[in-house]
Chain A
Amino acid sequence: MTVLTFTLVVLVISALAGFLGALTGLGGGVIVVPVLALALGVDIKYAIGASLVSVIATSSGAAAAYVREGYSNIRIGMFLEIATTLGAIVGAILAVHVTTHAIAIVFGVVLLQSAYQSFKSTPESGAPVESDGLARKLHLGGTYPLDGKRQEYGVRNVPAGFGLMFGAGALSGLLGIGSGAVKVIAMDRAMKIPFKVSTTTSNFMIGVTAAASAGVYLSRGYIDPRVAMPVMLGVLCGAFLGTKVLARARVRTLRIIFGIVVLVLAVEMIVNGILGKV
């Protein structure tokens, strides 16, 4: 394959991944890495390096739009970023020391969870809770728009959420993905933060988390300009288009298609990882 063909193919795949990732809210990285590794035979280290920069691009690029909706909570985000950035450094250092087969298998397991997530419909938020002691001390509670007014909400179980966030950061650093799904679980399930607040705050945190791994990736040469260029530009264009059509799209059908694609990739990653082919 010539460099021109490779660049164009990767550009198209990445645009598609960014588009689907934005529509389903699961991010483009989970598709780009396995497709590069499985279909194009790209070494997984190049793939996760390229994916990581595309994750930063979509997170930073969408920040203004998310903030305007008035759901994201900068205090919750910043506080939990202590955990995700520390986790990200640990994950990125781990990525340097474990075999690519092991990375492929862990990636497959994360893909299985993403597939499950996309088959399931969006969970309804429970009623807002009162903050517990530690959350009150940290001023983590806030308000979000509801029926034209601001609804107050509190935060619970800060240590558990903090721990889960460390894990989310480690996965992000190990696999070059945003791991937004784990971040949302930590906030929504563990800390009882309303779902919409969790998803928008998570989008914010993804870029900062990825930046913490970027230093390690860069110094090891995982961020290669020849591979990262088409991935970053493709995912960014795809994600931009995705957010534009989001309001009109039949997201339910798309989520099922996305889920099937991710499920197939999950099985392929795990099998190829075990056979030592990736």
Chain B
Amino acid sequence: MDDQRLEIIIGQLLRAGVLLAATMVSIGGLLYLTGHHADTASYKTFVAGGPAVQTLAGIVQSATHLQSEGLIQFGLLLLIATPVARVVLAMVGFALERDKLYALVSFIVLAILVFSLMRAT
């Protein structure tokens, strides 16, 4: 398997991930609008939304209770996961090609991403 073939497969997986995320966000969005369409929209001053939209565990819990904002946020988490998946798949690809240097490079990038996402736990 050459680099380009590997990359095309990864690209298709990413697109599927984006579509899945967009579907999830749309469902959550429709639910949200059903319940809140007549509320007043006010985003002039920033107020953090709390654990249900800020932490991985909180988002998963809110989404499994089918709360609209949790579903949107879960969709966004799926979206954030697509580039992470790309790095993981590239790392596996390099390992299969026995390209140790780039398997290591991919691992470093993955470690940085995981470090960042761990902040939201």
Contacts and interface: CB of A to CB of B under 8 A. Distances in A.
B55 A219 contact: yes
B83 A56 contact: yes
A13 interface: no
A199 interface: no
Contacts of B26: 233
Give the interface residue-count category, chain A.
35 or more
B77 to A, nearest CB: 8
Nearest to B51: A221
A11 B28 CA distance: 15
A41 B42 CA distance: 9
Nearest to B91: A78
Contacts of A56: 79-80, 82-83
Nearest to B117: A215
Given A2-B39, A74-B3, A216-B116, A67 B83 contact: no
B46 A225 contact: no
A41 B46 CA distance: 11
B22 to A, nearest CB: 6
B11 A2 contact: no
Contacts of B68: 225
19 contacts: A3-B40, A4-B33, A4-B37, A41-B44, A42-B43, A53-B76, A61-B14, A63-B15, A81-B87, A89-B112, A212-B113, A214-B116, A216-B119, A220-B48, A221-B47, A221-B50, A225-B70, A226-B69, A229-B29
Interface of B: 3-4, 6-8, 10-12, 14-15, 17-18, 21-22, 25-26, 28-29, 32-33, 36-41, 43-50, 53-55, 68-70, 72-73, 76, 79-80, 82-84, 86-87, 90, 101-102, 105-106, 108-109, 112-113, 115-120
